Structure 1
Protein backbone atom coordinates (compact mmCIF):
# COMPACT_ATOMS: atom_id res chain seq x y z
CA UNK A 1 0.00 0.00 0.00
CA UNK A 2 1.50 3.36 -1.00
CA UNK A 3 1.48 6.44 1.22
CA UNK A 4 -1.37 8.15 -0.62
CA UNK A 5 -3.61 5.11 -0.40
CA UNK A 6 -2.74 4.63 3.27
CA UNK A 7 -3.62 8.25 4.10
CA UNK A 8 -6.85 8.06 2.11
CA UNK A 9 -8.00 4.93 3.89
CA UNK A 10 -6.90 6.16 7.32
CA UNK A 11 -8.65 9.51 6.99
CA UNK A 12 -11.67 7.85 5.43
CA UNK A 13 -11.90 5.29 8.20
CA UNK A 14 -11.70 8.02 10.80
CA UNK A 15 -14.43 10.05 9.13
CA UNK A 16 -16.55 6.94 8.71
CA UNK A 17 -16.20 6.16 12.40
CA UNK A 18 -17.13 9.72 13.39
CA UNK A 19 -20.05 9.81 10.97
CA UNK A 20 -21.44 6.41 11.86
CA UNK A 21 -21.12 7.02 15.57
CA UNK A 22 -22.80 10.41 15.15
CA UNK A 23 -26.10 9.20 13.78
CA UNK A 24 -25.37 7.92 10.28
CA UNK A 25 -24.94 4.44 11.70
CA UNK A 26 -28.68 3.72 11.66
CA UNK A 27 -29.05 4.91 8.08
CA UNK A 28 -26.05 2.92 6.83
CA UNK A 29 -27.17 -0.29 8.53
CA UNK A 30 -30.98 -0.18 8.49
CA UNK A 31 -32.01 2.02 5.55
CA UNK A 32 -29.62 2.23 2.62
CA UNK A 33 -29.01 -1.55 2.34
CA UNK A 34 -32.71 -1.85 1.44
CA UNK A 35 -32.76 1.00 -1.13
CA UNK A 36 -32.40 -0.96 -4.36
CA UNK A 37 -31.13 0.97 -7.36
CA UNK A 38 -32.39 -0.36 -10.71
CA UNK A 39 -29.82 0.83 -13.23
CA UNK A 40 -30.93 0.88 -16.87
CA UNK A 41 -28.30 0.71 -19.61
CA UNK A 42 -28.41 0.36 -23.39
CA UNK A 43 -26.05 -2.05 -25.12
CA UNK A 44 -25.80 -0.90 -28.72
CA UNK A 45 -23.65 -2.50 -31.40
CA UNK A 46 -23.50 -3.18 -35.12
CA UNK A 47 -22.92 -6.82 -34.14
CA UNK A 48 -26.33 -7.14 -32.47
CA UNK A 49 -28.92 -8.65 -34.86
CA UNK A 50 -32.19 -6.77 -35.33
CA UNK A 51 -34.07 -9.75 -33.91
CA UNK A 52 -32.42 -8.90 -30.57
CA UNK A 53 -33.71 -5.33 -30.51
CA UNK A 54 -35.10 -4.56 -27.03
CA UNK A 55 -33.84 -7.91 -25.72
CA UNK A 56 -33.64 -7.39 -21.97
CA UNK A 57 -30.86 -8.76 -19.77
CA UNK A 58 -30.90 -8.43 -15.98
CA UNK A 59 -27.71 -8.83 -13.95
CA UNK A 60 -27.67 -9.25 -10.19
CA UNK A 61 -24.68 -10.08 -8.04
CA UNK A 62 -23.24 -10.63 -4.57
CA UNK A 63 -26.37 -11.45 -2.58
CA UNK A 64 -24.28 -12.82 0.31
CA UNK A 65 -27.34 -14.50 1.82
CA UNK A 66 -26.81 -15.23 5.48
CA UNK A 67 -24.79 -12.12 6.29
CA UNK A 68 -27.51 -9.58 7.09
CA UNK A 69 -29.40 -10.63 3.95
CA UNK A 70 -32.28 -13.06 4.39
CA UNK A 71 -34.10 -15.47 2.12
CA UNK A 72 -37.14 -13.24 2.57
CA UNK A 73 -35.22 -10.35 1.04
CA UNK A 74 -34.12 -12.67 -1.77
CA UNK A 75 -37.79 -13.44 -2.46
CA UNK A 76 -38.52 -9.71 -2.75
CA UNK A 77 -35.59 -9.32 -5.12
CA UNK A 78 -36.95 -12.12 -7.29
CA UNK A 79 -40.31 -10.32 -7.51
CA UNK A 80 -38.55 -7.11 -8.52
CA UNK A 81 -36.53 -8.85 -11.23
CA UNK A 82 -39.60 -10.65 -12.57
CA UNK A 83 -41.48 -7.35 -12.75
CA UNK A 84 -38.90 -6.18 -15.30
CA UNK A 85 -39.85 -9.12 -17.59
CA UNK A 86 -36.29 -10.12 -18.51
CA UNK A 87 -35.37 -12.23 -21.50
CA UNK A 88 -32.16 -13.35 -19.80
CA UNK A 89 -31.11 -13.38 -16.13
CA UNK A 90 -27.43 -13.38 -15.16
CA UNK A 91 -25.90 -13.84 -11.71
CA UNK A 92 -22.26 -12.86 -11.31
CA UNK A 93 -21.39 -14.73 -8.13
CA UNK A 94 -21.33 -14.86 -4.32
CA UNK A 95 -24.68 -16.42 -3.47
CA UNK A 96 -24.15 -16.87 0.27
CA UNK A 97 -21.50 -15.33 2.49
CA UNK A 98 -20.10 -18.47 4.15
CA UNK A 99 -21.16 -21.67 2.34
CA UNK A 100 -19.54 -23.93 4.94
CA UNK A 101 -21.44 -22.31 7.84
CA UNK A 102 -24.76 -21.49 6.16
CA UNK A 103 -27.81 -23.55 7.19
CA UNK A 104 -28.94 -24.74 3.76
CA UNK A 105 -32.61 -25.50 3.15
CA UNK A 106 -34.95 -25.41 0.16
CA UNK A 107 -35.84 -21.72 0.42
CA UNK A 108 -33.02 -20.36 -1.73
CA UNK A 109 -33.73 -23.00 -4.37
CA UNK A 110 -37.43 -22.13 -4.42
CA UNK A 111 -36.72 -18.42 -4.85
CA UNK A 112 -34.21 -19.05 -7.63
CA UNK A 113 -36.73 -21.33 -9.35
CA UNK A 114 -39.25 -18.49 -9.26
CA UNK A 115 -37.02 -16.27 -11.40
CA UNK A 116 -38.43 -16.20 -14.93
CA UNK A 117 -36.50 -15.52 -18.12
CA UNK A 118 -37.49 -16.59 -21.65
CA UNK A 119 -33.96 -17.40 -22.78
CA UNK A 120 -32.51 -18.84 -19.60
CA UNK A 121 -30.68 -18.09 -16.36
CA UNK A 122 -26.88 -18.26 -16.17
CA UNK A 123 -24.25 -17.70 -13.51
CA UNK A 124 -20.54 -17.74 -12.71
CA UNK A 125 -18.67 -18.57 -9.52
CA UNK A 126 -17.59 -15.81 -7.14
CA UNK A 127 -14.83 -16.12 -4.57
CA UNK A 128 -17.30 -16.78 -1.73
CA UNK A 129 -18.90 -19.58 -3.75
CA UNK A 130 -15.54 -21.34 -4.07
CA UNK A 131 -14.41 -20.44 -0.58
CA UNK A 132 -15.16 -22.52 2.51
CA UNK A 133 -15.54 -25.77 0.58
CA UNK A 134 -18.80 -24.51 -0.90
CA UNK A 135 -18.04 -25.11 -4.57
CA UNK A 136 -20.20 -28.20 -5.13
CA UNK A 137 -22.87 -27.17 -2.61
CA UNK A 138 -23.47 -23.83 -4.30
CA UNK A 139 -23.48 -25.46 -7.74
CA UNK A 140 -26.13 -27.96 -6.65
CA UNK A 141 -28.32 -25.16 -5.30
CA UNK A 142 -27.94 -23.10 -8.48
CA UNK A 143 -28.58 -26.18 -10.65
CA UNK A 144 -31.77 -26.92 -8.73
CA UNK A 145 -32.74 -23.27 -9.05
CA UNK A 146 -32.69 -23.56 -12.83
CA UNK A 147 -29.40 -21.73 -13.45
CA UNK A 148 -26.74 -22.91 -15.89
CA UNK A 149 -23.13 -22.54 -14.78
CA UNK A 150 -20.63 -20.94 -17.13
CA UNK A 151 -17.19 -22.07 -15.98
CA UNK A 152 -14.68 -21.41 -18.72
CA UNK A 153 -17.23 -22.04 -21.46
CA UNK A 154 -19.79 -20.24 -23.57
CA UNK A 155 -23.26 -20.67 -25.05
CA UNK A 156 -25.06 -19.03 -27.92
CA UNK A 157 -28.41 -17.36 -27.32
CA UNK A 158 -30.60 -17.65 -30.39
CA UNK A 159 -33.61 -15.79 -31.75
CA UNK A 160 -34.86 -16.92 -35.13
CA UNK A 161 -31.64 -17.70 -37.00
CA UNK A 162 -29.55 -15.07 -35.23
CA UNK A 163 -27.26 -15.44 -32.23
CA UNK A 164 -25.24 -13.65 -29.61
CA UNK A 165 -22.58 -15.27 -27.41
CA UNK A 166 -22.68 -15.48 -23.63
CA UNK A 167 -19.42 -16.56 -21.97
CA UNK A 168 -18.29 -17.03 -18.39
CA UNK A 169 -14.95 -17.63 -16.68
CA UNK A 170 -14.17 -19.35 -13.42
CA UNK A 171 -13.54 -17.16 -10.38
CA UNK A 172 -10.25 -15.27 -10.62
CA UNK A 173 -9.32 -15.39 -6.93
CA UNK A 174 -10.04 -19.01 -6.03
CA UNK A 175 -10.79 -20.71 -9.31
CA UNK A 176 -8.91 -21.39 -12.54
CA UNK A 177 -10.02 -18.84 -15.14
CA UNK A 178 -9.13 -19.69 -18.72
CA UNK A 179 -10.43 -17.21 -21.27
CA UNK A 180 -8.86 -19.00 -24.22
CA UNK A 181 -10.75 -22.19 -23.32
CA UNK A 182 -13.89 -20.15 -22.61
CA UNK A 183 -13.98 -18.73 -26.14
CA UNK A 184 -12.73 -21.83 -27.93
CA UNK A 185 -14.69 -22.25 -31.20
CA UNK A 186 -16.70 -19.10 -30.44
CA UNK A 187 -17.55 -16.94 -33.46
CA UNK A 188 -15.70 -13.61 -33.03
CA UNK A 189 -18.22 -11.91 -35.32
CA UNK A 190 -21.04 -12.50 -32.82
CA UNK A 191 -21.80 -9.92 -30.13
CA UNK A 192 -20.13 -11.40 -27.05
CA UNK A 193 -20.92 -10.80 -23.37
CA UNK A 194 -18.46 -12.11 -20.77
CA UNK A 195 -19.35 -12.80 -17.14
CA UNK A 196 -16.45 -12.40 -14.71
CA UNK A 197 -17.01 -12.03 -10.99
CA UNK A 198 -13.92 -9.84 -10.62
CA UNK A 199 -14.03 -6.61 -12.67
CA UNK A 200 -10.28 -6.03 -12.99
CA UNK A 201 -10.14 -9.08 -15.24
CA UNK A 202 -11.27 -6.69 -17.98
CA UNK A 203 -7.60 -5.87 -18.57
CA UNK A 204 -7.19 -9.49 -19.68
CA UNK A 205 -10.45 -9.68 -21.60
CA UNK A 206 -9.52 -6.67 -23.73
CA UNK A 207 -7.15 -8.91 -25.67
CA UNK A 208 -10.00 -11.24 -26.72
CA UNK A 209 -13.07 -10.81 -28.95
CA UNK A 210 -15.31 -9.70 -26.07
CA UNK A 211 -17.65 -6.72 -26.46
CA UNK A 212 -19.05 -6.37 -22.94
CA UNK A 213 -17.91 -7.66 -19.54
CA UNK A 214 -20.33 -7.84 -16.61
CA UNK A 215 -18.87 -8.08 -13.11
CA UNK A 216 -19.61 -7.65 -9.41
CA UNK A 217 -17.31 -8.42 -6.45
CA UNK A 218 -16.51 -4.81 -5.48
CA UNK A 219 -19.86 -3.95 -3.82
CA UNK A 220 -18.99 -0.47 -5.08
CA UNK A 221 -16.92 -0.20 -1.92
CA UNK A 222 -20.08 -0.48 0.28
CA UNK A 223 -19.11 2.70 2.14
CA UNK A 224 -18.33 5.80 0.10
CA UNK A 225 -17.60 9.25 1.52
CA UNK A 226 -17.92 12.65 -0.16
CA UNK A 227 -14.63 13.83 -1.73
CA UNK A 228 -12.93 10.58 -0.69
CA UNK A 229 -14.99 7.91 -2.46
CA UNK A 230 -14.75 4.26 -1.55
CA UNK A 231 -12.58 3.25 1.39
CA UNK A 232 -11.82 -0.33 0.45
CA UNK A 233 -12.42 -2.91 -2.27
CA UNK A 234 -11.13 -6.51 -2.46
CA UNK A 235 -8.41 -7.79 -4.75
CA UNK A 236 -9.24 -7.68 -8.44
CA UNK A 237 -11.76 -4.89 -7.81
CA UNK A 238 -9.27 -2.15 -7.07
CA UNK A 239 -9.06 -0.53 -10.51
CA UNK A 240 -12.68 -0.77 -11.63
CA UNK A 241 -14.98 -0.24 -8.64
CA UNK A 242 -18.43 0.57 -9.98
CA UNK A 243 -20.33 1.75 -13.01
CA UNK A 244 -19.46 1.84 -16.69
CA UNK A 245 -15.91 1.78 -18.01
CA UNK A 246 -14.91 2.04 -21.67
CA UNK A 247 -11.59 0.41 -22.50
CA UNK A 248 -9.38 1.06 -25.52
CA UNK A 249 -11.70 3.54 -27.22
CA UNK A 250 -14.73 1.31 -27.00
CA UNK A 251 -13.19 -2.05 -27.83
CA UNK A 252 -14.57 -3.39 -24.54
CA UNK A 253 -17.20 -1.96 -22.23
CA UNK A 254 -17.16 -3.04 -18.58
CA UNK A 255 -20.09 -2.70 -16.19
CA UNK A 256 -19.40 -3.19 -12.48
CA UNK A 257 -22.48 -3.98 -10.44
CA UNK A 258 -22.55 -2.80 -6.79
CA UNK A 259 -24.24 -6.03 -5.73
CA UNK A 260 -27.13 -6.72 -3.40
CA UNK A 261 -25.85 -7.78 0.00
CA UNK A 262 -22.95 -6.80 2.22
CA UNK A 263 -19.92 -8.58 3.59
CA UNK A 264 -17.35 -7.93 6.34
CA UNK A 265 -19.42 -4.97 7.59
CA UNK A 266 -23.24 -4.78 7.40
CA UNK A 267 -23.26 -1.20 6.08
CA UNK A 268 -23.91 0.65 2.87
CA UNK A 269 -23.36 4.38 2.71
CA UNK A 270 -23.77 6.42 -0.49
CA UNK A 271 -23.56 3.07 -2.26
CA UNK A 272 -27.02 1.56 -2.72
CA UNK A 273 -27.52 -2.10 -3.67
CA UNK A 274 -28.08 -2.49 -7.37
CA UNK A 275 -29.32 -4.57 -10.26
CA UNK A 276 -28.57 -3.79 -13.90
CA UNK A 277 -31.20 -3.86 -16.64
CA UNK A 278 -29.56 -3.96 -20.07
CA UNK A 279 -31.53 -3.43 -23.28
CA UNK A 280 -29.92 -4.49 -26.57
CA UNK A 281 -30.05 -2.26 -29.63
CA UNK A 282 -29.01 -3.21 -33.14
CA UNK A 283 -27.13 -0.31 -34.66
CA UNK A 284 -27.61 0.25 -38.36
CA UNK A 285 -24.66 0.81 -40.69
Structure 2
Protein backbone atom coordinates (compact mmCIF):
# COMPACT_ATOMS: atom_id res chain seq x y z
CA UNK A 1 0.00 0.00 0.00
CA UNK A 2 2.78 2.42 0.97
CA UNK A 3 4.76 1.54 -2.16
CA UNK A 4 1.70 2.17 -4.33
CA UNK A 5 1.18 5.58 -2.73
CA UNK A 6 4.88 6.35 -3.20
CA UNK A 7 4.82 5.35 -6.87
CA UNK A 8 1.67 7.40 -7.43
CA UNK A 9 3.26 10.41 -5.74
CA UNK A 10 6.39 10.12 -7.88
CA UNK A 11 4.29 9.81 -11.04
CA UNK A 12 2.24 12.88 -10.10
CA UNK A 13 5.42 14.83 -9.35
CA UNK A 14 7.03 13.91 -12.66
CA UNK A 15 3.84 14.79 -14.54
CA UNK A 16 3.61 18.15 -12.76
CA UNK A 17 7.23 19.00 -13.58
CA UNK A 18 6.72 18.04 -17.22
CA UNK A 19 3.56 20.13 -17.57
CA UNK A 20 5.17 23.09 -15.81
CA UNK A 21 8.22 22.94 -18.08
CA UNK A 22 6.00 22.60 -21.14
CA UNK A 23 4.04 25.72 -20.15
CA UNK A 24 7.10 27.84 -19.35
CA UNK A 25 9.59 26.90 -22.09
CA UNK A 26 9.52 29.72 -24.60
CA UNK A 27 9.87 29.04 -28.33
CA UNK A 28 10.56 31.38 -31.22
CA UNK A 29 8.78 30.40 -34.44
CA UNK A 30 9.81 32.04 -37.69
CA UNK A 31 7.92 32.52 -40.97
CA UNK A 32 9.07 34.00 -44.27
CA UNK A 33 6.25 35.73 -46.14
CA UNK A 34 6.86 36.48 -49.82
CA UNK A 35 4.61 38.69 -51.89
CA UNK A 36 4.93 40.79 -55.03
CA UNK A 37 3.05 43.59 -53.26
CA UNK A 38 5.71 43.92 -50.56
CA UNK A 39 7.89 46.93 -51.48
CA UNK A 40 11.63 46.40 -51.91
CA UNK A 41 12.27 48.69 -48.94
CA UNK A 42 10.42 46.16 -46.75
CA UNK A 43 12.50 43.18 -47.85
CA UNK A 44 13.65 41.39 -44.66
CA UNK A 45 11.42 43.64 -42.53
CA UNK A 46 10.98 41.86 -39.18
CA UNK A 47 7.62 41.74 -37.43
CA UNK A 48 7.42 40.25 -33.94
CA UNK A 49 4.00 38.97 -32.91
CA UNK A 50 3.03 38.65 -29.24
CA UNK A 51 -0.32 37.04 -28.49
CA UNK A 52 -2.35 35.77 -25.53
CA UNK A 53 0.02 36.63 -22.70
CA UNK A 54 -2.82 36.50 -20.15
CA UNK A 55 -0.65 38.20 -17.49
CA UNK A 56 1.90 35.40 -17.63
CA UNK A 57 5.54 36.00 -16.74
CA UNK A 58 8.65 34.25 -17.98
CA UNK A 59 11.17 34.89 -15.24
CA UNK A 60 11.20 37.85 -12.88
CA UNK A 61 9.93 40.95 -14.64
CA UNK A 62 9.40 38.81 -17.77
CA UNK A 63 13.16 38.90 -18.32
CA UNK A 64 13.23 35.70 -20.41
CA UNK A 65 10.58 37.07 -22.76
CA UNK A 66 12.32 40.44 -22.99
CA UNK A 67 15.66 38.79 -23.78
CA UNK A 68 14.11 36.81 -26.63
CA UNK A 69 12.51 39.96 -28.02
CA UNK A 70 15.81 41.81 -27.91
CA UNK A 71 17.60 38.93 -29.66
CA UNK A 72 15.21 39.32 -32.58
CA UNK A 73 15.48 43.14 -32.56
CA UNK A 74 12.30 43.54 -34.63
CA UNK A 75 11.35 46.49 -36.81
CA UNK A 76 7.88 46.45 -35.24
CA UNK A 77 6.03 44.52 -32.52
CA UNK A 78 2.36 43.64 -32.96
CA UNK A 79 0.21 42.45 -30.06
CA UNK A 80 -2.78 40.40 -31.22
CA UNK A 81 -4.95 40.48 -28.12
CA UNK A 82 -5.42 39.02 -24.63
CA UNK A 83 -2.38 40.66 -23.13
CA UNK A 84 -4.37 40.58 -19.89
CA UNK A 85 -6.75 38.05 -18.36
CA UNK A 86 -10.35 39.20 -18.01
CA UNK A 87 -10.86 36.97 -14.97
CA UNK A 88 -8.31 38.87 -12.86
CA UNK A 89 -7.61 42.45 -11.88
CA UNK A 90 -3.82 42.22 -12.29
CA UNK A 91 -2.66 44.29 -15.24
CA UNK A 92 0.79 45.27 -13.96
CA UNK A 93 2.43 42.48 -15.98
CA UNK A 94 0.99 43.84 -19.23
CA UNK A 95 1.81 47.47 -18.46
CA UNK A 96 5.38 46.68 -17.37
CA UNK A 97 6.02 44.73 -20.57
CA UNK A 98 4.60 47.52 -22.71
CA UNK A 99 6.71 50.07 -20.83
CA UNK A 100 9.86 48.18 -21.77
CA UNK A 101 9.17 47.26 -25.38
CA UNK A 102 7.63 50.61 -26.33
CA UNK A 103 10.83 52.40 -25.28
CA UNK A 104 12.82 50.43 -27.87
CA UNK A 105 10.39 49.39 -30.60
CA UNK A 106 7.35 50.54 -32.52
CA UNK A 107 4.41 48.72 -30.90
CA UNK A 108 0.93 48.22 -32.35
CA UNK A 109 -1.87 46.64 -30.32
CA UNK A 110 -5.32 45.20 -30.90
CA UNK A 111 -7.61 43.89 -28.16
CA UNK A 112 -8.84 40.34 -27.76
CA UNK A 113 -11.92 38.90 -26.14
CA UNK A 114 -10.44 39.11 -22.64
CA UNK A 115 -9.91 42.85 -22.82
CA UNK A 116 -13.49 43.20 -24.03
CA UNK A 117 -14.86 40.76 -21.46
CA UNK A 118 -13.12 42.57 -18.61
CA UNK A 119 -15.26 45.66 -19.16
CA UNK A 120 -18.40 43.62 -18.45
CA UNK A 121 -17.09 41.85 -15.35
CA UNK A 122 -16.60 42.59 -11.67
CA UNK A 123 -13.28 44.29 -12.39
CA UNK A 124 -14.84 46.81 -14.74
CA UNK A 125 -13.54 49.80 -12.77
CA UNK A 126 -10.00 48.41 -12.64
CA UNK A 127 -9.91 47.66 -16.34
CA UNK A 128 -11.22 51.07 -17.27
CA UNK A 129 -8.16 52.36 -15.43
CA UNK A 130 -6.01 49.83 -17.34
CA UNK A 131 -7.25 51.14 -20.69
CA UNK A 132 -6.69 54.71 -19.53
CA UNK A 133 -3.10 53.87 -18.60
CA UNK A 134 -2.64 52.00 -21.87
CA UNK A 135 -3.54 55.13 -23.82
CA UNK A 136 -0.75 56.97 -22.01
CA UNK A 137 1.82 54.47 -23.27
CA UNK A 138 3.82 54.97 -26.43
CA UNK A 139 1.91 52.38 -28.44
CA UNK A 140 -0.66 52.47 -31.22
CA UNK A 141 -4.01 50.87 -30.39
CA UNK A 142 -5.85 49.86 -33.56
CA UNK A 143 -9.51 49.79 -32.59
CA UNK A 144 -11.05 49.18 -36.02
CA UNK A 145 -8.45 51.48 -37.50
CA UNK A 146 -5.35 51.48 -39.69
CA UNK A 147 -1.93 53.07 -39.95
CA UNK A 148 0.61 53.39 -42.71
CA UNK A 149 4.01 51.95 -41.84
CA UNK A 150 6.60 53.90 -43.79
CA UNK A 151 10.08 52.85 -44.85
CA UNK A 152 11.97 55.03 -47.26
CA UNK A 153 9.57 56.18 -49.95
CA UNK A 154 7.31 53.12 -49.56
CA UNK A 155 4.70 51.94 -47.08
CA UNK A 156 2.51 49.03 -46.09
CA UNK A 157 -0.89 49.23 -44.39
CA UNK A 158 -1.49 47.80 -40.93
CA UNK A 159 -5.12 47.32 -39.89
CA UNK A 160 -6.62 46.19 -36.60
CA UNK A 161 -10.13 44.77 -36.33
CA UNK A 162 -12.08 44.15 -33.12
CA UNK A 163 -14.53 41.26 -33.45
CA UNK A 164 -17.39 41.91 -30.97
CA UNK A 165 -17.63 39.75 -27.87
CA UNK A 166 -20.90 38.18 -29.04
CA UNK A 167 -18.88 36.18 -31.58
CA UNK A 168 -16.89 34.47 -28.80
CA UNK A 169 -18.99 31.57 -27.43
CA UNK A 170 -18.72 30.51 -23.78
CA UNK A 171 -20.45 27.70 -21.93
CA UNK A 172 -22.59 30.07 -19.88
CA UNK A 173 -22.94 32.95 -22.35
CA UNK A 174 -23.06 33.28 -26.12
CA UNK A 175 -22.82 29.50 -26.59
CA UNK A 176 -25.73 29.52 -29.02
CA UNK A 177 -23.57 31.86 -31.12
CA UNK A 178 -20.95 29.14 -31.58
CA UNK A 179 -21.51 29.06 -35.33
CA UNK A 180 -22.57 32.67 -35.74
CA UNK A 181 -21.16 34.14 -38.94
CA UNK A 182 -19.87 37.65 -39.40
CA UNK A 183 -22.03 39.79 -41.63
CA UNK A 184 -20.50 39.97 -45.11
CA UNK A 185 -20.29 43.74 -44.76
CA UNK A 186 -18.67 43.65 -41.30
CA UNK A 187 -15.13 44.30 -42.51
CA UNK A 188 -16.09 47.20 -44.78
CA UNK A 189 -18.22 48.73 -42.03
CA UNK A 190 -15.44 48.33 -39.45
CA UNK A 191 -12.41 49.31 -41.51
CA UNK A 192 -13.68 50.71 -44.79
CA UNK A 193 -12.64 49.55 -48.25
CA UNK A 194 -9.17 48.09 -48.39
CA UNK A 195 -6.32 49.69 -50.35
CA UNK A 196 -5.85 46.95 -52.95
CA UNK A 197 -2.81 48.59 -54.51
CA UNK A 198 -0.76 48.26 -51.31
CA UNK A 199 0.35 45.40 -49.09
CA UNK A 200 -2.17 45.00 -46.26
CA UNK A 201 -1.60 43.30 -42.91
CA UNK A 202 -4.57 42.71 -40.60
CA UNK A 203 -4.32 42.16 -36.85
CA UNK A 204 -7.34 40.10 -35.77
CA UNK A 205 -7.43 38.23 -32.47
CA UNK A 206 -10.09 35.78 -33.66
CA UNK A 207 -8.89 33.49 -36.50
CA UNK A 208 -12.21 31.79 -37.13
CA UNK A 209 -13.32 34.50 -39.55
CA UNK A 210 -10.33 34.11 -41.88
CA UNK A 211 -12.70 33.76 -44.84
CA UNK A 212 -14.17 37.21 -44.09
CA UNK A 213 -10.71 38.71 -43.75
CA UNK A 214 -9.64 37.13 -47.04
CA UNK A 215 -12.76 38.23 -48.91
CA UNK A 216 -12.17 41.76 -47.65
CA UNK A 217 -8.70 41.67 -49.20
CA UNK A 218 -6.17 41.18 -46.38
CA UNK A 219 -2.84 39.95 -47.74
CA UNK A 220 -1.60 38.75 -44.35
CA UNK A 221 -3.61 38.13 -41.17
CA UNK A 222 -1.91 37.80 -37.78
CA UNK A 223 -4.09 36.10 -35.20
CA UNK A 224 -4.15 34.22 -31.88
CA UNK A 225 -6.90 33.21 -29.42
CA UNK A 226 -6.77 29.42 -29.86
CA UNK A 227 -3.60 28.75 -27.80
CA UNK A 228 -2.53 26.16 -30.37
CA UNK A 229 -5.32 23.84 -29.31
CA UNK A 230 -3.75 23.55 -25.81
CA UNK A 231 -3.12 19.82 -26.25
CA UNK A 232 -1.48 18.90 -29.56
CA UNK A 233 -1.45 15.41 -31.07
CA UNK A 234 1.34 14.82 -33.63
CA UNK A 235 0.08 14.73 -37.24
CA UNK A 236 -3.43 15.61 -36.03
CA UNK A 237 -3.15 19.04 -34.41
CA UNK A 238 -4.76 20.90 -31.55
CA UNK A 239 -7.45 19.17 -29.51
CA UNK A 240 -9.26 22.02 -27.73
CA UNK A 241 -10.73 25.31 -28.86
CA UNK A 242 -11.96 28.40 -27.00
CA UNK A 243 -15.12 27.90 -29.06
CA UNK A 244 -15.79 24.83 -26.90
CA UNK A 245 -15.29 22.32 -29.69
CA UNK A 246 -12.72 19.63 -30.36
CA UNK A 247 -10.11 19.79 -33.14
CA UNK A 248 -10.66 23.39 -34.30
CA UNK A 249 -10.35 24.23 -37.97
CA UNK A 250 -7.69 26.80 -37.18
CA UNK A 251 -5.26 26.03 -34.38
CA UNK A 252 -1.67 26.93 -35.26
CA UNK A 253 0.65 27.88 -38.08
CA UNK A 254 0.28 29.24 -41.60
CA UNK A 255 -2.96 29.09 -43.58
CA UNK A 256 -3.67 30.11 -47.17
CA UNK A 257 -6.98 31.11 -48.71
CA UNK A 258 -7.61 32.78 -52.06
CA UNK A 259 -4.29 34.60 -52.06
CA UNK A 260 -4.46 35.58 -48.38
CA UNK A 261 -2.17 34.15 -45.71
CA UNK A 262 -2.84 33.83 -41.99
CA UNK A 263 -0.23 33.27 -39.28
CA UNK A 264 -1.89 31.86 -36.17
CA UNK A 265 0.21 32.03 -33.01
CA UNK A 266 -0.31 29.61 -30.15
CA UNK A 267 0.49 32.49 -27.83
CA UNK A 268 2.21 32.67 -24.48
CA UNK A 269 -0.25 32.08 -21.66
CA UNK A 270 -3.66 30.74 -20.83
CA UNK A 271 -6.80 31.60 -18.92
CA UNK A 272 -8.92 28.95 -17.23
CA UNK A 273 -6.82 26.15 -18.76
CA UNK A 274 -3.18 27.00 -18.11
CA UNK A 275 -1.56 23.66 -18.94
CA UNK A 276 -0.09 22.95 -22.36
CA UNK A 277 0.82 19.56 -23.77
CA UNK A 278 3.12 19.44 -26.80
CA UNK A 279 2.20 23.11 -27.20
CA UNK A 280 4.97 25.32 -25.84
CA UNK A 281 4.45 29.10 -25.53
CA UNK A 282 5.78 31.03 -28.49
CA UNK A 283 6.66 34.38 -29.93
CA UNK A 284 6.46 34.68 -33.69
CA UNK A 285 8.93 36.34 -36.04
CA UNK A 286 7.60 37.18 -39.50
CA UNK A 287 10.14 38.15 -42.14
CA UNK A 288 8.65 40.01 -45.10
CA UNK A 289 10.22 39.15 -48.45
CA UNK A 290 9.74 41.29 -51.53
CA UNK A 291 9.36 39.43 -54.82
CA UNK A 292 9.81 42.59 -56.88
- Band of TM-score, shorter chain: 0.7 to 0.9
Q: Give the greater-gyration-radius structure (CA).
A: 2
Name the residue aligned to 2:215.
207
Map 1:104-143 onto structure 2 (within 5 A).
104-105=91-92, 108-116=94-102, 120-133=106-119, 136-143=128-135
Distance 2:70 2:220 in 1: 23
Mapped contact 1:157–1:163 kept (Cα < 8 A)? yes
Residue of structure 2 equivalent to 1:222: 230
Give the SS at the match of 1:206. helix
Q: Residue 82 of structure 1 aligns to a residue in which SS? A: helix
Give the 3 Å change call, closer, same or farther, for CA 45–182 of structure 1 in structure 2. Answer: farther
Taking the aligned partners of 1:188 and 1:151, their CA distance within structure 2 comes to: 21
Q: CA deviation at 1:215?
A: 0.3
For residues 157 and 119 of structure 1, the distance between their equivalents in structure 2, rounded to whole angstroms, comes to 13
Match of 1:94 in 2: 82
- CA 1:266/1:95 → structure 2, altered by over 3 Å: closer, same or farther? same
Q: Which runs of 5+ in 1 are unaligned?
A: 1-19
Partner of 2:60 in structure 1? 72
Q: Cα offset for 1:51? A: 0.8
- Residue aligned with 2:131, SS: helix
- 5 Å-filtered alignment, 1:142-221, equals 142-174=134-166, 178-184=186-192, 186-221=194-229
Per the TM alignment, residue 141 of structure 1 is displaced from its structure 2 partner at its CA by: 3.9
Which of 42, 55, 58 is residue 52 of structure 1 equivalent to?
42
User: Deviation of residue 209 (structure 1)?
Assistant: 1.8
Gapped runs of 5+ residues in structure 2? 1-10, 169-181
Instruction: Summarize deviations over 1:175-231 as a string: whole Å, max 9, x none.
Output: 898421444264211100001101111111111121010100000011223466433
* Aligned partner of 1:42 among 16, 32, 35: 32
Structure 2 contact 35–291 (Cα < 8 Å) conserved: yes
The range that moved more, 256-265 or 70-79, is: 70-79
Q: CA deviation at 1:53?
A: 1.1
Alignment partner of 2:283: what SS?
strand
- In 2, Cα distance between the equivalents of 1:189 and 1:36? 37
1:244 is matched with 254
Partners of 1:119 and 1:273 lie apart in 2 by 22
CA RMSD of aligned residues (A): 2.7
Task: Specify the SS of the correspondent of 2:159.
Answer: strand
1:281 to 264, 289, 292: 289
Tell me, in whole angstroms, the C-alpha distance in 2 between the residues paired with 1:78 and 1:173. Answer: 30
Assess, with a 3 A threshold, how the Cα gap between structure 1 residues 184 and 266 changes in structure 2: closer, same or farther: closer
| 1:199 and 1:236 in contact (8 A); partners too | no
Deviation digits for residues 212-262 of structure 1, max 9, x if unmatched? 1010000001122346643311129932111111112xx111111000012
Q: Deviations over 1:27-73 (max 9, x none)?
A: 11x201121111111111111111111111000100001xx647836
- Give the paired residue count: 258
**Distance change in 2, residues 1:74/1:175 (3 Å):** farther
Given that residues 194 and 216 in structure 2 are in contact (C-alpha distance below 8 angstroms), is that contact kept between their aligned partners in structure 1? Answer: no
- The secondary structure found in structure 2 opposite 1:187 is coil
Q: Give the secondary structure class of the aligned counterpart of 2:215.
A: coil
Matched, 1:26 2:26: no
Where does residue 53 of structure 2 map in the other structure? 63
